[in-house]
Amino acid sequence: MSPDGFFEQLFAPILDLIRAHRDWAAPLVFGLCLIESLALISALVPATLLLLAIGSLAAAGLISLVELSLWGMAGAGLGYWVSFEVGRRYGRRIESLGFFARRPDWIARGHRFFERWGSIAVIVSRFIPLGRAIIPLMAGAMGGRRVSFQIANWLSAVLWVPAMLAPASIGVALADQLQGASPQMRAIVMIAVVVAVVLAVRTLRR
């Protein structure tokens, strides 16, 4: 099954709605990236698969990948910005909030990660679901510098949004290239892709 075909089946009603109202696609991506980048909310309302699904429409040429990416970057950057300012406003008091009070290990891990890596933690956290829920909040609560945070914030948004929207386009292009390839070559490519994904996941978990 092709990448766009997989998402076609998984999110058929939503994708049909977007096809009928294509002008909604970019604002929807903005909203999804905003939600995915807000502290706490991103842990409760994961939208990653839906972003990948919308990206499959760009792979089919129905909507502009560049336009979707720009809207998504704006939403992602704004989400981290709001989270940072909330952390800065309430400081360590956020640890006593009901949700976080029941998960002290989240706070401890986020604190250690940001304390050790600083702005790099902000960039890396964008690609980790738990990181998006905690790190921008911790950066603000721990008194991180606004300028350094914003540089890392917007840089991570520029990297993360295409990573969420482009896989279907890459998959379609790769499938086209492999149509005339031998079964052995297809197997090698598939193994290489799986190994790359596994290594990436293991690296991000360290």
pLDDT in tens, 55-74: 777 777 778 888 889 999 99
Side-chain-side CA neighbours of 32 within 13 Å: the count stands at: 25
Select, from the ranges 4-18, 100-114, 144-158, 182-196, the one with the highest average predicted confidence (pLDDT).
144-158
12-37 pLDDT, tens digit per residue, is: 677 777 777 778 888 989 999 999 99
Report CA torsion sign: 176, 182, 183, 184. negative
d(CA 36, CA 76): 7
Task: Evaluate whether 172 touches 3 at the Cβ level (below 8 Å).
Answer: yes
For 121, the enclosing helix (H) or strand (E) is: helix 119-125
DSSP 8-state assignment for residue 206: -
pLDDT tens digits, one per residue of 128-166: 878 888 889 888 888 888 999 999 999 999 999 988 887
| Residue 62 backbone dihedrals phi, psi, to 5 degrees | -85, -30
Only one residue has tokens 């891990």, namely 109
In angstroms, the CA 73 to CA 115 distance is 26
More confident residue, 11 or 150: 150
Helix, strand, coil distribution of the chain in percent, nearest 5: 85, 0, 15
pTM for the predicted model, two decimal places:
0.73
DSSP state of 64: -
* 104 token code pair: 């002290």
d(CA 73, CA 61) in angstroms, rounded, equals 20
Which residues, in sequence order, are CB contacts of 100 under 8 Å at separation 6+?
A: 40, 94, 106, 107
